[in-house]
């Protein structure tokens, strides 16, 4: 019974770690306007951000890496 509980706890921990949103990377699809970018992730969907940072098209970024002024 103890082994079963440990296995279930381990599987639950793996599931929680795998579903953390901070590790999601978004791909820059296009620059919509000056400092406004369209980012996309298959699981999370599309995000439009305004940032003073210069992002590269088709490069992957974590949202935490980007200095976001506004998010829609």
Q: Is 13 exposed, middle or buried (0-12, 13-18, 19+ CB in 10 A)?
A: exposed
**Beta bridge partner(s), residue 14:** none
The full set of domain ranges for the chain reads 21-71
> Where are the strands (E) in the chain, listed by range?
25-33, 36-41, 45-50, 60-62, 70-71
Contact of 40 with 27, CB cutoff 8 Å? yes
**What pLDDT score does 3 carry?**
83
Tens-level pLDDT at each residue, the chain (72 residues):
888 888 887 777 766 655 555 568 999 999 999 989 999 999 889 999 999 999 999 999 998 889 888 655
Given this model, what pLDDT does residue 9 score? Answer: 79
CA–CA dist 53, 11 (Å, integer): 39
Residue 65, number of CB atoms within 10 A of its CB: 12
């Amino acid at each position: 019974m103890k082994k079963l509980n440990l296995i279930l706890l381990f599987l639950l921990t793996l599931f929680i770690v795998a579903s953390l949103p901070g590790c999601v990377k978004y791909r820059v699809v296009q620059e919509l306007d000056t400092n406004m970018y369209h980012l996309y992730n298959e699981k999370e969907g599309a995000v439009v951000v305004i940032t003073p940072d210069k992002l590269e098209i088709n490069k992957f970024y974590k949202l935490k890496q980007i200095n976001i002024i506004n998010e829609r």
